[in-house]
Amino acid sequence: MNALRRIVDAFSIGDSANSLSRLLLVEQFKMLRKQVPILYAVLVVDSISVGAVLPSAVPPFLRFAVPGVLLAICIVRMVRWIRLRDTEITPEEAREHLVKTRIVAVVLNAGFVLWILALFSSVDTTLRAPIALLVLMGCIGTAYCLGNFPPASRLTLLIAGAPVGAVLLLSGDGMLISLGINVLLLVALLGRMINTNFKYFVDLIRLQTELGQEGARARIAEQSAKALAERFEIALNNMSHGLCLFDREQRLIVCNRQYLELYDLSAEIVRPGMSLNEIVDLRYSAGTAPKMTPMEYLSWRNSAQVINQESDTTVELTNGVYVRIRHRPMADGGWVATHEDFTERHRTEKALAEAKAAAEQAEATARAAHSHLTEALDVVPDGLALFDQEDRLLLWNRQYASFYSASHGAMVEGAKFETILREGVANGQYPEAIGREEEWIKERMARHTMPKYSHEQHLPGDRWVRVEERRTADGGSIGVRIDITDLKRREASFRLLFEENPLPMWVVDAATKQLLAVNGAMCRHYGYHRELLLNMTEQQLEDAACDEVTTSDYAIHKTFNGSIIEVAIDSRPLIYEGRPARVCVAFDVTERNRTQERISYLASHDPLTGLPNRAALDQHFQTVIERARSTGSDFAVLCMDFDHFKEINDLYGHAVGDAALCHASRRLEEAAQGAYVARVGGDEFIGIIEQLPLPGSAELAAIKMREVFNTPIEIEGRTLKLDVCIGISLFPRDSEDAVSLLANADAALYRAKHEGRGAVRLFTVAMDQQLRDRRALEHDLRFAVERKQLFLEYQPQQHRDGQITGYEALVRWRHPIRGIIGPTEFIPIAEQSGVIAQIDDWVLAEACAEAASWTTPLRIAVNVSAGQFRREDFATQIDKALRHAGLRASRLELEITEGVLIDEMSRAKYTMRQLKELGVLIALDDFGTGYSSLSYLDAFPLDRIKIDRSFVASLDSSERALAIVHAVITLAHGLGVPILAEGVETWKQFALLREEGCDEMQGYLIGRPGPLSTLRADLQKVRYR
């Protein structure tokens, strides 16, 4: 039974009952994971080697089929083990793989041996020895690879090696028998070697397990020690005193943070193991050593009396700090000591001792001098009292008692100050306390405790004393009472009213006007020294150059530095030093009057031009009408407006526009020759001409005002040509009220502006209707977008090769009554009324939506107004419109005039850069009609330049126009910018432009503006000639 059990144990696999066996299973698996692929490789090589030495007479089944099957199994298993190379595995999973490995080893070895035994019967005797050697080598290699897994390696030797050896023994051939004996001996020796190696392997695993357990216990012990050390360090550093521990060799074992801070030592320098001498040297370097030399200190510190005995010592350091050291020796020859900062307590004890000695000395001195002091104090004219630190009365003189006679009953030595105070209050000693006794006592006690206090106190009988109180060094107080009754009586009648008054005041002799007294405020306000003023008369304060009459309550005065001030004077008579006089107080109203005048001026005048404004005009109008009615005269109302003044603001900015308005207003005033001129807003002015000698005088005056602008205005190096249109209405012919006269003049102005630059027109009844129509049109325009009355027409743009490249969107207004209205009629009204922003947004959105619906990706051109371009969020609005319509940015072209770019050039560049980042195309419209056009070709990122129609119109009749067009095209092409010509209406113009190299054309020849459906049909008719 024992032998059988041993055999079973030799081929069995261990369990996972304990940590060693579990670790052994995992390690066996890891070793097999490395060796099994080699094992299968050995089997494959061995099988191939045997097959290679077999003669051709061997049946093909034995020679190729069996090795092929073995080869396939080996390759599959080898691949499977290679996949398990990096797999983490549990002991249970490892045991499962080991069981499978044992089974596979049995199957493969059995199959291999059966194949070899079958070959022995099929081959010649001479081949059996090589085959046996090959089998032996394969067996050895397999057993070696499975060495750490004895069950499998033993089975390999038993199944593969033993049968072959036995067959060789029984062969009857001497050489084969000898070979069989060696095979069996080698198998036995290899089995013993496997047992020995596996034992070493198990011992190694056991040792590894024990080392791991010891390491874990060591780590736990290390962590516990570290935690204990940390707690010990925390405990040391949380002590209120410094602590140090030295060994018998006077080397530092440990010290806490308080010890280092007390002696100003660094924790990076002071470390365990440092000698006492080194630490002492560091303390002397830091200035925290005792007040003795290092040698003296070490000699004292190392003396047997100090080292070997307990001691409590107070030591003064060189930095003035006192330290109490409690020294305690230890049994091993070392010592421990605590160090406490004893400075404050030491100083307190020393101060107490000194104070006690001083008090005793003072008490003796006081007793000796008390009697002399009492007698001396009674001679002093002022009242004196001395109180201790608890406010108990110690000493007072006769004068003090007389001041507070109502408190005499409580005035005894040792009486509390508050008790004396309450006695006085109860007996009416303090008039100011009547009715608020407790509150007054509380306030008085608060002032009494102040370090220094002074005030004037009212006593019965209209008596006044000055109270002076000081706290003494010992916490007591001394009080002095000075009789100021007479002084108060002299000053009461005048000082409070006069000297301390912040307003200038003076006393003047009623007869001679001589200044008798002045206060400090007057000296400061007028700039004179007091002595100078007292040598002057009241008339000398007045401004001699002022023609304004001075009254008793108002005057124009002159200060020392020559400044003119206006003062309101309030005076009262009095007797001053026995003679009649007046006391005067002055109120400086200069700035108030100037401010009122400025406010009045600003309320009635335009701040830019200085001309009267609308409010002043309305007031003046009523005066003129009343005067004309009373005299039976007539007058003219002129309404003036500058043509295209908005273009100046657009081209050059509002600063230049404002300067132009100022120049224009001055010319109008000069031309009016005294007539009334007012600015009522923007570039609109109103003139009123009275006393007209002839019926045509108003028109002649208006023409003269117009002619003063024949000369251009020069501003900042720019020459500006202004044209003024004037509308005239006459009183009483056209109306007799201001509102109607202004409205009629405005109607005449409207007619003049429509008739051309610089027109002058008199009001007629028909003009009133025209103005009403314009206002009605403006009213309807405000609702045109909301009511969907606006629509777009599209004019094609064509390449010179005949290809349509895009369309320009042009806005039209379908009025419900007036029909189709062109942009030249309603756009100016929109700009003046502010509706243009709403129209701009609608045109952009509508054009983008239309272009997005086209099947051909043509571009759409949209005109941009100045106001639209200057919006802070203009680029954002463009991006929003493109996204909403679903239109690519590269298909949208924004047409911008030069005037838009001139105002705030840096801001225009920023906006253009934002647009280019979106990918939008930018075209410069009406090129050549503005100022300094060429400077913008390089400054701005332009995608196209449009030649203005004014050049194209005269192209076929003017060589000058042709030369300009040629120059513009050449310049643009040199900059890499394409050219589009507007207003192409004839084939000759088309041919000339194409010959000059113009890239694109637009005009009636290409196609008139209209709905896209109409344009597509008409465009089929356009051909080249």
Question: Would you say 327 and 306 are in contact if contact means Cβ atoms under 8 Å apart?
Answer: yes
Q: Between 47 and 387, name the one with better pLDDT.
A: 387
As beta bridge partners, residue 243 has: 338
- CA-closest candidate to residue 753, choices 726, 778, 772, 771: 726
pLDDT at 816 over 90: no
Residue range 255-284: mean pLDDT, rounded? 88
- CA-closest candidate to residue 640, choices 500, 758, 524: 758
pLDDT at 660 over 70: yes
Distance CA 666, CA 683 (A): 13
Record the tokens describing residue 342, joined without a space: 């004893």
Instruction: List the single range of 228-242, 466-480, 495-509, 562-576 with lowest mean pLDDT.
Output: 228-242
Phi, psi of 920 (to 5 degrees): -75, 145
Q: Between 870 and 36, name the one with better pLDDT.
A: 870
The rounded percent of the chain whose pLDDT value lies above 70 is 76
Question: How many other C-beta atoms lie within 10 A of the C-beta of residue 704?
Answer: 12
Distance CA 644, CA 683 (A): 10
Give the pLDDT score at 677.
Answer: 93
C-alpha distances out from residue 392 to 410, 422, 453, Å: 12, 14, 18
Give the pLDDT score at 894.
Answer: 93
pLDDT at 802 over 60: yes
Record the tokens describing residue 888, joined without a space: 């690519």
Record the tokens describing residue 640, joined without a space: 């003036």
Record the tokens describing residue 477, joined without a space: 């107080």
Q: How confident is the model at residue 1023 (pLDDT cuts 50, 70, 90)?
A: very low
Q: Which string of DSSP letters, residue by residue, matches 692-757?
A: -SSTTHHHHHHHHHHHTTSSPEEETTEEE---EEEEEEEETTT-SSHHHHHHHHHHHHHHHHHH-T
Per-residue pLDDT tens over the stretch 487-496: 677 666 666 6
Number of alpha helices (DSSP H) and beta strands (DSSP E) in the chain: 38, 31
As beta bridge partners, residue 535 has: none
- CA-closest candidate to residue 612, choices 558, 665, 544, 683: 665
Residue type, 951: F
Distance CA 120, CA 135 (A): 12
Give the pLDDT score at 891.
Answer: 94
**Superfamily the domain 380-492 falls into:** PAS domain (3.30.450.20)
Of 215-224, 818-827, 859-868, 885-894, highest mean pLDDT:
885-894
CA angle 922, 925, 929 (to 5 degrees): 145
pLDDT at 751 over 50: yes
Q: Given 3.40.1010.10, 3.30.450.20, 3.40.50.2000, 1.10.760.10, which CATH number is that of 505-593? A: 3.30.450.20
Q: Between 188 and 452, name the one with better pLDDT.
A: 452
Q: Specify whether domain 790-1019 bears CATH 3.20.20.140.
A: no
Instruction: List the single range of 64-73, 807-816, 982-991, 1008-1017 with lowest mean pLDDT.
Output: 64-73
pLDDT at 795 over 90: yes
pLDDT at 1017 over 60: no
Residue range 306-326: mean pLDDT, rounded? 84
- Fold match flag (239-341 vs 625-778): no
Per-residue pLDDT tens over the stretch 84-97: 666 777 767 667 76
Question: Would you say 748 and 740 are in contact if contact means Cβ atoms under 8 Å apart?
Answer: no
pLDDT at 128 over 50: yes
User: Quick one: CA torsion of 911, 917, 920, 922, rounded to 10 degrees?
Assistant: 50
Q: H helices of 238-303, where?
A: 257-262, 276-286, 294-301
- CA-closest candidate to residue 337, choices 323, 327, 349, 350: 327
Give the pLDDT score at 747.
Answer: 84
Question: Would you say 898 and 931 are in contact if contact means Cβ atoms under 8 Å apart?
Answer: yes
- Residue 30 class from Cβ within 10 Å (0-12 exposed, 13-18 middle, 19+ buried)? middle
Report the first-to-last Cα separation within the chain, whole angstroms: 124
Give the pLDDT score at 429.
Answer: 87
Phi, psi of 1006 (to 5 degrees): -75, -45
Q: Which CATH architecture has domain 239-341?
A: 2-Layer Sandwich (3.30)
Record the tokens describing residue 965, joined without a space: 């067009």
Give the pLDDT score at 549.
Answer: 45
| Residue that is written with structure tokens 């000058």 in the block | 960
Per-residue pLDDT tens over the stretch 817-865: 888 888 888 887 787 777 888 888 999 999 999 999 988 889 999 998 8
Of 100-114, 316-330, 486-500, 767-781, highest mean pLDDT:
316-330
Phi, psi of 956 (to 5 degrees): -85, 0
Q: Between 552 and 176, name the one with better pLDDT.
A: 176
Q: How confident is the model at residue 520 (pLDDT cuts 50, 70, 90)?
A: confident
Residue range 755-763: mean pLDDT, rounded? 82
Residue type, 840: D
C-alpha distances out from residue 240 to 255, 262, 320, Å: 13, 11, 20
Instruction: List the single range of 223-227, 320-324, 545-549 with lowest mean pLDDT.
Output: 545-549
Residues 411-419: contacts with CB within 8 Å, 24+ apart? 416/390, 416/391, 416/392, 417/387, 417/391, 417/392, 417/393, 417/445, 417/448, 418/391, 418/445
pLDDT at 119 over 60: yes
C-alpha 378: how far from chain center: 76
Per-residue pLDDT tens over the stretch 902-954: 656 777 888 888 989 999 999 988 776 655 456 667 778 889 999 888 888 88
Per-residue pLDDT tens over the stretch 55-110: 666 676 666 666 666 677 777 766 766 666 667 777 676 677 666 776 776 667 76
Domain segments of the chain: what residues? 2-212, 239-341, 380-492, 505-593, 625-778, 790-1019
Q: How confident is the model at residue 985 (pLDDT cuts 50, 70, 90)?
A: very high
Q: How confident is the model at residue 457 (pLDDT cuts 50, 70, 90)?
A: confident
Q: How confident is the model at residue 796 (pLDDT cuts 50, 70, 90)?
A: very high
Residue range 473-481: mean pLDDT, rounded? 89
What's the mean per-residue pLDDT of the chain? 80
- CA-closest candidate to residue 561, choices 595, 588, 527, 594: 527
Spelled out in words, what is the top-level CATH class assigned to the domain 625-778? alpha beta
Residue type, 810: L
Give the pLDDT score at 932.
Answer: 46
Give the pLDDT score at 1024.
Answer: 40
Give the pLDDT score at 882.
Answer: 92
| Beta strands per DSSP E along 330-407 | 335-341, 383-387, 393-396
Residue range 877-901: mean pLDDT, rounded? 89
C-alpha 376: how far from chain center: 76
Residue type, 719: T
pLDDT at 808 over 90: yes
pLDDT at 901 over 80: no
- CA-closest candidate to residue 76, choices 30, 36, 32: 36
Give the pLDDT score at 1022.
Answer: 44
Residue range 643-668: mean pLDDT, rounded? 83
